[in-house]
Amino acid sequence: MRQISGRQPREVSQAVLLQLLKAVKDELEKRKHEREEKLEPGNENQDRKFARLAIEEARKSVPENDDRPHPLVGAVVVKDGKVLATAYRGEAEGNHAEYITLEKKLDDAALVGATVYTTLEPCTTQNHPKIPCADRLIERKVARVVIGMLDPNPNITGAASVRLAPNIASGLVRAFEGVLANR
Ligand SMILES: [Zn+2]
């Protein structure tokens, strides 16, 4: 008798715990969904246009003098349907495309509500004292980050969206796929 009543509460609490875990999981899934929906503003043509522009920028990327492969990267900053700045990796020596747009070209611009199109997910790690591009995007309060491809380095693949998630809607967008598929 004692044994049973001693076991019962444990079983109940485990069930409750599982229920809670499921609720948390559902909530996270729901939020993820909401973010994805936010990322589809119903103007896919506009996204496609700016994605294409980012790819054109990426093609100009400057090779780096080491033996490691570096993905081509282009970035386009858009606000109210207008291009505020474009950049490609290395346009300013040794700098990432997003950094060049945000800090070199749009240092004084208000970017609240802007969309950044980038062919590669923004970096989340940088050698000190450089600040990762993902953190700069958060700092500048852009609204959306539209990403062409995830970083091929498996250690950091997808890290940008996780970093941006509390503040910025981000994700891979079909617009890029459309552009790439059409080539
Ligand atoms: Zn970067």
pLDDT digits (tens, 9 = 90+) for 99-113: 999 999 999 999 999
Q: What's the gap in Å between 98 CA and the centre of ligand 1? A: 6
Neighbours of ion ligand 1 (CB under 5 A): 96, 123, 133
**What's the chain's average pLDDT?**
84
Model pLDDT, residue 10: 56
pLDDT at 50 over 60: yes
DSSP secondary structure string for all residues of 32-96:
HHHHHHHT--S-HHHHHHHHHHHHHHHTTPPPPSSSS-----EEEEEETTEEEEEEETTSSTT--
Q: What's the gap in Å between 5 CA and the centre of ligand 1? A: 58
Model pLDDT, residue 58: 93
Residue of 172 and 6 predicted with greater confidence: 172
Rg (CA), the chain: 21
Q: What's the gap in Å between 40 CA and the centre of ligand 1? A: 24
Model pLDDT, residue 74: 95
Q: What is the rounded average pLDDT of the residues 55-64? A: 91
Residue 37: active-site member: no
- DSSP secondary structure code for residue 150 in this structure: -
Q: What are phi and psi of 40, to 5 degrees?
A: -110, 90
In the block, which residue shows the tokens 């700092």?
Answer: 139
Q: What's the gap in Å between 96 CA and the centre of ligand 1? A: 5
- DSSP E strands in 138-180: the ranges are 144-149, 169-172
pLDDT at 46 over 60: yes
pLDDT at 24 over 90: no
Q: What's the gap in Å between 133 CA and the centre of ligand 1? A: 4
CA-wise closest residue to 89 among 113, 117, 58, 126:
58
Q: What's the gap in Å between 1 CA and the centre of ligand 1? A: 64
Q: What's the gap in Å between 29 CA and the centre of ligand 1? A: 28
- DSSP secondary structure code for residue 124 in this structure: S
The structure's pTM equals 0.73
Cα separation, 140 vs 131, whole angstroms: 13
Cα separation, 76 vs 51, whole angstroms: 8
Model pLDDT, residue 33: 58
Model pLDDT, residue 69: 76
- Choose the catalytic residue: 37, 98, 139, 177: 98
Rounded (10°) angle between helices 44-58 and 174-181 = 60
CA-wise closest residue to 101 among 82, 86, 120:
86
Pairing of strands 115-120, 169-172: unpaired
80: left (phi over 0), alpha (psi -120 to 50) or beta: left
Confidence at 128, pLDDT banded by 50, 70, 90: confident
Strand partners, 147: 118, 172
Among the residue ranges 100-114, 130-144, 167-181, the one predicted with the least confidence is: 167-181
Rounded to the nearest 10°, the torsion over CA 28, 31, 37, 41 is -140
